[in-house]
Each structure stands twice: as structure tokens, then as C-alpha cells.
Amino acid sequence: MRRALSLAAHGPAYGPNPRVGCVLLDSDGRTVAEGFHRGAGTPHAEAAALADARSRDIDLRGTTAVVTLEPCAHHGRTGPCADALIEAGIAVVHVAVPDPNPLATGGADRLQAAGIEVTTGLLADEGEDLLRPWLHAIRTGRPYVTLKLATSLDGRVAAADGTSRWITGPQARAHAHTIRAQVDAIAVGSGTALIDDPSLTARTADGGLFEHQPLRVVLGRRTVPDDARLRGPGGPLLHLPERDLDVVLRELGEREVRHVLVEGGPTLATALLAADAVDELHAYIAPVLLGAGATAVGDLGVTTIGEAARFATQDVTRLGDDVLLIARRAGLARASTDQPDAGRTGVDRPVPQQPSSSSTSTNQSHQKEI
């Protein structure tokens, strides 16, 4: 299974389909074939492994398949993997993670009905970690939201005169572009689109464009100018004037956006955090002190430390003089009962200050919705 997970990681992190790896073993436990999914429209991992075996005239009757995700049972651009395994004469199938996609699930039942032994849950934690954004999107109907912040040590994103290039150094900026090349979409608020005129492209170290360019999303009612860099080379542009974050995230989910990277500005970051809609934080922190200027996040209505929005640190990496801290949602931390529905927070205006009685129950309700 660890080999299958390693193979799966070679597949693209972006796109509507999951990263999946498959290893086929003979009766002595030796690998006879393997494969992984290379992206939408290409053979699934099981089909790739079966093709690998056929190319070397290997008889697969009585062999074992080790797969990171439950084989699918539906007809899409390719046939059901469960049927392919049955036709090949596979005797045993070990699965890390069951498939939560209602359109594809049922493969394990189909295999068992054909007399194949199936076990599920082998290295399930590692499988869940590999598939985190995809699983989240399928289970909730909205994309996995990663919020990127690039700040000074004192949490500023710009100096008092509005200048912000560059707070972080070249290594941090280059790393941020590799992350852009791994997500389905990049989102900014309409205010940031107008003020900063970003291109929101994923660029290589030499200034070229990565092969994959994410969808560029602008949230808010202000129009993107005809001559904006967002209309230049790069991914498609999607302008969503809707202010309700719940509607926005579901719209992206319906467009098969599995992972969205939010790059600003402070208004959108604050709205998402207030709505408990951020799943992961990427905080690029530079050893710079500004003392004044715009902050990365606005007022969240937090009046006491017990109400703080908390995340769990996953990794800390040095990038030149800067540091990247990656943290994931640690659970809802708000602690009282009557905050208005954060899902109605506007995405192109400052978030109003909330009363000190910030609500855990309301935020939990919103999280269930999105």
C-alpha cells in the first residue's frame, strides 16, 4: 500500500479526479504490475496497472490488487475499474479509502458479489492525507479552501503608504507559484483585483507559465476592467458577483473545483475566517517589521483569547530568510451563542465588528451548510 500511495502522488494534485495508485501482486507477494491515474480522461490506476501487466503477458488470475481508493463502479470516460479487476481474475483487493463519491461508489460490493475478497482501511490515515482536498470537496460539496497570507513579523501586508512589493523574498514567492500550479482555482476579492491588478498565474522560476494554469476567480460586485491583467495569458477568468460565501463555495464545487487557493486581500481573508470556511493556512512570514499599514486579517469579533480561531500546525519550512507555516483547521473555537450567520458576510466590503458574545453554535451551523 505504501508503494501504491507513492505512485498515486505522481498524479496531478489538481483536477476533478482523485490521485490513485495501484499495485498488483502475485501469490508470493511480489509486484507484477503497477499504475497510477495521470489525470482526467486518462486510464484509472487499476486500468493502468492491468495494462502494464498485459504489456508483459502476465496472467493475473489469482493475483492481489492493492489500491489507494475503492475501485469505481460507474461508467465515465473510462469503464468501471471493479469490472476490469473482475474480468482480469483478481482474487483479493486491498483498499485504503472507500470512495465517498455517490457517482462512483459501490465497487467493493461489486467485487465481493463476484467472489473477490475485499478489505478496506489499510493505511487509511495516509490515504486520507493524500486525498484530503478531493475527499473534502466530495464529502461537503464545496472546495477545500487554502488561505495564503504573506506578512511581516507584525502581521502587516503593506506599509503605511500602501506599498507591499516585496515583503517576502524570492524563494517564498517561487514556492507560492508551485502551490498555484497544484490547485484548481485562485480567488481574490474584487477590491484586490482593482487595486493590485494581479495576473494570478502560476509561473516557473524563469518567468514562464506552468503547463497547468488554475481558474482565476474574482469575488465581489465590482467589475474586472477590460484591460486587467486577469484577462491576459493564464487560466480562465470567472467573476462571481455573489456576496454570500456559502453560495460562492457551492458554485465552485458545482464547477468541480476541488481546491481553491485564496490570495486576498484582507477583506476576503477576514470574511472566510469569520465564516469558519478556511481549511488550511499558508502563512509566509518575513523577518520584517513595519509597525503600521494594512493587516492581513481584519476584525473577527474576537474579544477574548478563548474565542480565537485556532489552527493546528502541520509543517514549518524555511524559504531563504522567510518562513512558511502550514496549519490546518483545528476545530471551531468560538464560544458563545448569538453571532449572526457568517455565511452572509460580504466578500467585497469590510467585515463589521461583532458583539463580544461570538457564537460557536452559529459557526457550526454554517460549517454544516458549506
Question: Looking at the annotation, which residues are catalytic?
Answer: 46
237 beta partners: 216
The DSSP result for 60-80, as a single string, is: -TT-EEEEEEPPP-S-SSS--
CA gap 353, 1 in Å, rounded: 50
Of 42, 31, 64, 32, the C-alpha closest to 19 is 42
Which string of b and e fits 162-171 if b means at least 16 CB within 10 Å? eebeebbbee
Q: How many CB atoms lie within 10 A of CB 105?
A: 16
Residue bearing cell 475527499? 135
* DSSP letter, residue 229: G
Looking at residue 319, its amino acid is L
In angstroms, rounded to a whole number, what is the distance separating the alpha carbons of residues 81 and 364?
37
Helix residue ranges, H only, the chain: 2-8, 45-55, 81-88, 107-113, 124-130, 132-140, 170-180, 190-196, 245-254, 266-274, 360-369
Strand, helix or coil at 27? coil
Whole-number Cα distances in Å, 264 to 24, 110, 231, 296: 45, 46, 18, 9
Amino acid in position 190: S
Q: What DSSP designation does 328 have?
A: E
Can you tell me the distance from the alpha carbon of 8 to that of 62, in angstroms, rounded to the nearest whole number? Answer: 24
| Tally of CA atoms within 13 A in the half-sphere of 26 that contains its CB | 8
